[in-house]
Amino acid sequence: MSGIQVIVHKCVGCGVCEQVCPYGAITMENDLPLFGPECTLCGACVEACPYDAIIIVKETSEEVDPSGYSGILVYAEHRSGRIASVVPEIIGAALALKKDLGEPVAALLMGKDVSAAAAELLQYGIDTVYLADHPDIRDFEEDTAAEVFAQVVRMKKPAIVLGGGTVEGRSLLPRVAVKLRTGLTADCTELAIEPESRLLKQTRPAFGGNIMATILTERNRPQMATVRHKVMSEAPRLEGPVTGTVEKLKVTVPPSALEVLEFVEERSDTVNLTEADVIVSAGRGIKDPKNLVLVEKLALAAGGALGASRAVVDAGWIPYSHQVGQTGKTVNPTVYIACGISGAIQHLAGMKSSDIIVAVNSDEHAPIFEVADYGIVGDLFEVIPEMIKQLGG
Ligand SMILES: Cc1cc2nc3c(=O)[nH]c(=O)nc-3n(C[C@H](O)[C@H](O)[C@H](O)COP(=O)(O)OP(=O)(O)OC[C@H]3O[C@@H](n4cnc5c(N)ncnc54)[C@H](O)[C@@H]3O)c2cc1C
């Protein structure tokens, strides 16, 4: 079994592991460490233990013969048959890879009554749509979806599987990767084929965006990656007759352990963040959730969407769907207005490619000013009302 293990006869119950654990995952019981679900196997306790009493046991995964795998499979995420906006971007990336790999691109479309969306997918110039249309594949039942997805991969043996770095993609694709015992690189910003090995080069920011890491899946198949939304260019939609085909698949759908009680669509009075041309974001500088309305007013006056830093989201002042940054959304608007945001590297990771960045901050040394095209050093409670006024709001 893989995981963290204590060598009981070596452990003296000194508690050093409990003190060094960055996740608070260890508690001492009867002079032995107990590991909670917060444990990420980071290894800090293994290094710190003066008695070498903690080890991480890793399961060695079986190597597979890569020659049996070919082609690229794109996961066609949708909500009740409406294709997600990230899908044309993934197809764009897959078609670019096809040029170097010379292998076909297929999409997996699964769900209940979704066959109409297959024709739409073919218009993006892919070779095949694998259609798993089944009444028991329901939205949000990701355990079932992961099982069906894994069946299709075992059946079709693609060399590469790509999905969106969306809420659904981030949840579903790792489940599939575990079932297939292969690796997954999440949130890639660049994909390419290494000419000699023909392996997929999966590039993503690492260490808070300070370096770009390129990851290869050498020994397992398929090579799986999710793609960050709004980074890759969309495949153009072709006019006229399509050459690709739809292949209906017979799949076995296991019962889900999940019961979806209700679907509540998030209320959004402003435009979708990732699609917005203007974004006005609030940071901890707004001081109180009741002041969010001021930033929201500016967003409305500028015809834009409301974003936020993680500090504001973590404080519970606004839902996570508004978070911009490394662990939130990557945005690329024409204008990004940061109000009371310091400009931590993790925030910049999600917005620094905006065309024009405007920062309002009372601290002239705030790092946000290093990326800002226009910086306003001042109290946001004075500056924002003035901006709203000038915008005619
Ligand atoms: C692994 C990891 C992932 C992360 N992911 C994200 C992410 O996705 N997105 C994200 O945003 N952060 C992320 N963070 C958190 C990030 O490091 C910062 O803690 C966060 O961005 C800080 O938010 P903030 O700028 O709103 O708050 P602060 O850093 O507290 O900044 C508040 C700013 O408001 C200014 N201010 C105060 N009062 C006023 C006023 N009256 N008028 C004008 N300005 C004022 C201050 O000068 C200050 O610069 C992540 C951190 C980690 C470790």
User: What is the residue-wise DSSP string for 108-172?
Assistant: EEEESS-HHHHHHHHTTT-SEEEEEE-TT--TT-HHHHHHHHHHHHHHH--SEEEEESSHHHHHH
pLDDT value at position 338? 98
When mean pLDDT is compared across 56-70, 206-220, 245-259, 373-387, the lowest value belongs to 56-70
pLDDT value at position 69? 96
Is 372 a pocket residue for ligand 1 (Cβ < 6 Å)?
A: no
Nearest to 295, CA basis, from 384, 373, 187, 231: 384
For the chain, residues classed under CATH 3.40.50.1220 are 273-390
When mean pLDDT is compared across 101-105, 114-118, 241-245, 328-332, the lowest value belongs to 328-332
CA-366 nearest atom, ligand 1 = 49
Which of 312, 326, 380, 382 should be mutated for ligand 1, with most atoms under 8 A from CB?
Answer: 326
CA of 303 to the centre of ligand 1 (A): 24
CATH number of the structural domain 3-57: 3.30.70.20
- Tokens coding 185: 């690189």
pLDDT value at position 41? 86
* Mean pLDDT calculated for residue range 7-19: 95
Is 282 a pocket residue for ligand 1 (Cβ < 6 Å)?
A: no
Q: Specify the residue with its C-alpha closest to ligand 1, atom 30.
A: 284
pLDDT value at position 206? 82
Question: Using CA atoms, how far apart are residues 307 and 304, in angstroms rounded to an integer?
Answer: 9
Average pLDDT, the chain: 92
Which of 346, 351, 354 should be mutated for ligand 1, with most atoms under 8 A from CB?
Answer: 346
Q: Are 276 and 291 in contact (CB under 8 A)?
A: no
* Mean pLDDT calculated for residue range 276-304: 96
CA of 207 to the centre of ligand 1 (A): 17
Q: Under CATH, domain 66-248 is a member of which superfamily?
A: HUPs (3.40.50.620)
Q: Is pLDDT at 315 greater than 70 in this prediction?
A: yes
For the chain, residues classed under CATH 3.30.70.20 are 3-57
pLDDT value at position 38? 86
When mean pLDDT is compared across 266-270, 338-342, 371-375, the lowest value belongs to 266-270
Q: Is pLDDT at 305 greater than 90 in this prediction?
A: yes
pLDDT value at position 2? 58
pLDDT value at position 208? 64
Is 342 a pocket residue for ligand 1 (Cβ < 6 Å)?
A: yes
Is 363 a pocket residue for ligand 1 (Cβ < 6 Å)?
A: yes
Q: Are 258 and 143 in contact (CB under 8 A)?
A: yes
Task: Give tens-digit pLDDT for 126-184.
Answer: 999 999 999 999 988 999 999 999 999 999 999 999 999 988 999 999 999 999 999 99
- Tokens coding 259: 């019961």
* Mean pLDDT calculated for residue range 294-320: 95
CA of 355 to the centre of ligand 1 (A): 21
Q: Is pLDDT at 63 greater than 80 in this prediction?
A: no
Q: Are 191 and 92 in contact (CB under 8 A)?
A: no
3 state DSSP class of 182: coil
How far CA 301 is from CA of 169, 305, 318, 319, 350, in Å, comes to: 34, 10, 19, 21, 23
Owner of token pair 């489940």? 175
Fold for 273-390, please state it.
Rossmann fold (3.40.50)
CA of 51 to the centre of ligand 1 (A): 40
pLDDT band for position 393 (50/70/90)?
confident
> To which H or E segment does residue 202 belong?
strand 200-206
pLDDT value at position 390? 95
Q: Is pLDDT at 207 greater than 80 in this prediction?
A: no
Which of 310, 337, 382 should be mutated for ligand 1, with most atoms under 8 A from CB?
Answer: 310
pLDDT band for position 266 (50/70/90)?
low
- Tokens coding 93: 């990336």
pLDDT value at position 139? 87
* % of the chain surpassing 70 pLDDT: 96
For the chain, residues classed under CATH 3.40.50.620 are 66-248
Q: Are 74 and 107 in contact (CB under 8 A)?
A: yes
CA of 255 to the centre of ligand 1 (A): 43
With b for 16 or more beta-carbon neighbours within 10 A and e for fewer, the 168-188 pattern comes to bbeebbbbbbeebebbbbbbb
Which of 331, 341, 368, 381 should be mutated for ligand 1, with most atoms under 8 A from CB?
Answer: 341
pLDDT value at position 271? 53
CA of 344 to the centre of ligand 1 (A): 6
Q: Is pLDDT at 1 greater than 60 in this prediction?
A: no
Question: Using CA atoms, how far apart are residues 357 and 324, in angstroms rounded to an integer?
Answer: 14
Q: Is pLDDT at 27 greater than 80 in this prediction?
A: yes
Question: Using CA atoms, how far apart are residues 200 and 159, in angstroms rounded to an integer?
Answer: 9
